[in-house]
């Protein structure tokens, strides 16, 4: 990967040790992926010195790149396997999709804001990542063309679980989504499809930007 000097690699290793492992993230593949993806190339240039800090950062258009720990936590809870077909809703900077692209063979990621979608496409191209496809559009409706998915990761907070997304889960498929009655305050929900039945587990409170769309806010 280009522009990856020793100091960035060290900052990344520190992030993995102090923010992820120290807080209980144990999935080796998630730790390895987050130790490799150059997060500083997914933030605006003036934010680069903060790229490996323990928090979300602004990426323009009122949107954010999520806190590394929350990215790791959501990925770990999804128990991803190499062959899983994965949809991400909320490309933002593209960082989450890049980590996903390291964990599975193919990723489709959706972003409603064309400017962010374009910028993310540019980053994947610069990094020679050709297994991530960015679709511009309303991710609350999913992307039926490539459904069903073994895993769907939503990285914006909605008022409820979009039916379009549970409909696009394969048997045994998992959906990770922040849901809350107020904008900017949600709980992480893990929803698993078992035949016609959907089983929901409620996880920690989080603070994501709003999921805006037909089946969102
Ligand atoms: N995964 C991103 C990253 O690694 O940078 C962070 C995502 S950011 C917290 C949430 C993103 O979801 C924003 O870029 C926002 O524009 C996008 N978003 C909100 N509602 C959406 C929708 N219905 N469909 C697609 N993207 C949406």
What beta strand segments (E) does the chain contain? 57-60, 63-65, 85-89, 106-111, 132-136, 149-154, 169-182, 185-194, 197-206
Question: What is the distance between the terminal CA atoms of the chain, rounded to a whole angstrom?
Answer: 37
Provide the pLDDT confidence category of residue 2 given band limits of 50, 70 and 90: very low
Over 60: is that where the pLDDT of 12 sits?
A: yes
CB distance 119 to ligand 1 below 6 Å: no
> Residue 50: what pLDDT?
98
* pLDDT exceeds 70 at position 52: yes
Average pLDDT over residues 7-36: 98
pLDDT above 70 as % of the chain:
98
Across the chain, mean pLDDT equals: 96
Q: State the pLDDT at residue 4.
A: 58
What ipTM was estimated for this complex? 0.99
Q: Measuring CA to CA, which residue among 144, 168, 156, 13 is closest to residue 74?
A: 156
Residue 80 in contact with residue 108, Cβ under 8 Å? no
Q: Active-site residue among 2, 7, 66, 79?
A: 66
CA–centroid distance, 117 to ligand 1, in Å, is 10
Per-residue pLDDT tens for 124-175? 999 999 999 999 999 999 999 999 999 999 999 999 999 999 999 999 999 9
Calculate how far, in angstroms, residue 3's C-alpha sits from the geometric centre of ligand 1: 26
Q: What's the pLDDT score for residue 5?
A: 79
Task: Please give the average per-residue pLDDT across 68-90, as a whole number.
Answer: 98
Annotation marks residue 155 as catalytic: no
**pLDDT tens digit sequence for 86-119:** 999 999 999 999 999 999 999 999 999 999 999 9
- Tokens, residue 199: 């089983």
Which pLDDT score is estimated for 1? 42
Nearest 10 degrees: Cα torsion 98, 65, 154, 138: -100
pLDDT of res. 3: 52
Closest residue by CA, ligand 1 atom 15: 90
Whether 68 is in the pocket of ligand 1, judged by its Cβ within 6 Å, is no
Model confidence at 60: pLDDT above 70:
yes
């Amino acid at each position: 990967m280009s522009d990856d000097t020793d100091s960035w690699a060290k900052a990344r290793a520190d992030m993995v040790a102090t923010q992820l492992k120290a807080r209980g993230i144990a999935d080796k593949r998630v730790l390895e992926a987050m130790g490799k993806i150059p997060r500083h190339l997914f933030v605006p240039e003036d934010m680069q010195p903060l790229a490996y800090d323990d928090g979300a950062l602004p990426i323009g258009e009122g949107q954010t790149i999520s806190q590394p720990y929350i990215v790791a936590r959501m990925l770990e809870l999804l128990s991803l396997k190499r062959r899983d077909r994965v949809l991400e809703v909320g490309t933002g900077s593209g960082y989450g999709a890049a980590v996903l692209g390291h964990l599975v063979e193919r990723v489709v990621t959706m972003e409603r804001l064309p400017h962010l979608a374009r910028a993310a496409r540019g980053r994947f191209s610069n990094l020679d990542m050709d297994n991530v496809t960015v679709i511009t559009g309303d991710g609350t409706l999913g992307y039926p063309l490539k459904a069903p998915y073994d895993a769907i990761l939503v990285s914006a907070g909605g008022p409820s679980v979009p039916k379009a997304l549970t409909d696009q889960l394969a048997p045994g498929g998992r959906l990770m989504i922040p849901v809350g009655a107020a904008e900017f305050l949600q709980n992480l929900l893990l929803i698993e499809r078992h035949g016609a039945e959907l089983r929901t587990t409620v996880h920690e409170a989080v603070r994501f930007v709003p999921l805006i769309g037909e089946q969102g806010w």
